[in-house]
Amino acid sequence: MSTHLHDMVPGQRLDFKGPLPKYPWTANKHDHIALIAGGTGITPMYQLARAIFKNPDDKTKVTLVFGNVSEEDILLKHEFAELENTYPNRFRAFYVLDNPPKEWTGAKGYITKDLLKTVLPEPKSENIKVFVCGPPGLYKAISGTKVSPTDQGELSGYLKELGYSKDQVYKF
């Protein structure tokens, strides 16, 4: 989407709709959630994290895995750093860069099965949910694609290989 917006010229029109609530959230719906995002796929993830952390009664733990091309592409990095500092026992963020700067100490390349195995809540945990949003290649590798807004499609990719069930994964 960002490429499309960048390529627009003055006078072109772009229509927006929404917000469209897709996954109704209630406090403590899950004990631990994981947010796996690529690029602008961070948008619904940030909305979900904000809903959780603005409610003092919600004790949900949140793990974010966020892939981008470069460090400059990391949207909302300041906001996520603030969540990590404010809720160090409940929020962790892991960043993956395809083209990292030399001093980068985080993960490099793409989001991998090994990284997910290391940082995500165990699939055998009773009350967890993994949310996925990003470009088509991310869906293909991580969870398989969604068929339509009302059909999540089959679970495939790294999450299936790691033992997560279709019910534990939600594709935005």
Task: Please state, for a pLDDT cut of 70, what percent of the chain lies above it.
Answer: 97
DSSP string, 46-93: HHHHHHHHT-TT---EEEEEEEESSGGG-TTHHHHHHHHHH-TTTEEE
Question: Residue 49: inside a domain, yes or no?
Answer: yes
Torsion of CA 144, 47, 81, 133, to 10 degrees: 10
Does 122 map to a domain?
A: yes
> What range does the domain containing 124 cover?
28-171
CA–CA separation, 4 vs 19, rounded Å?
20
1 is in an annotated binding site: yes
**What are the tens digits of pLDDT across the range 156-171?**
999 999 999 999 999 9
Q: Which of 10-19, 22-31, 37-46, 64-73 has the lowest mean pLDDT?
A: 10-19
| Residue, of 25 and 150, whose pLDDT is higher | 25
The domain spanning residue 86 has which CATH number? 3.40.50.80
Please report the sign of the dihedral spanned by the C-alpha atoms of residue 55, residue 56, residue 57, residue 61.
positive
Residue 100 domain-assigned (yes or no): yes
What is the DSSP annotation of 106-171?
A: SEESS--HHHHHHHSPPTT-TTEEEEEES-HHHHHHHT----BTTB-----HHHHHTT--GGGEEE
Task: Tally the domains of the chain.
Answer: 1
- Is residue 69's pLDDT more than 70? yes
Is residue 45 annotated as involved in ligand binding? no
Which of 42 and 20 is assigned the larger pLDDT? 42
pLDDT at position 2 is: 74
Instruction: Please indicate, yes or no, if residue 161 is contained in any of the structural domains.
Output: yes
Q: Does residue 5 fall inside a structural domain?
A: no
Q: Is the pLDDT of residue 130 over 90?
A: yes
pLDDT band at 15 (very low <50, low <70, confident <90, very high): confident
User: Is 156 annotated as contributing to ligand binding?
Assistant: no
pLDDT surpassing 80 at residue 43 = yes
Written as six digits, the tokens of 19 are: 């917000």
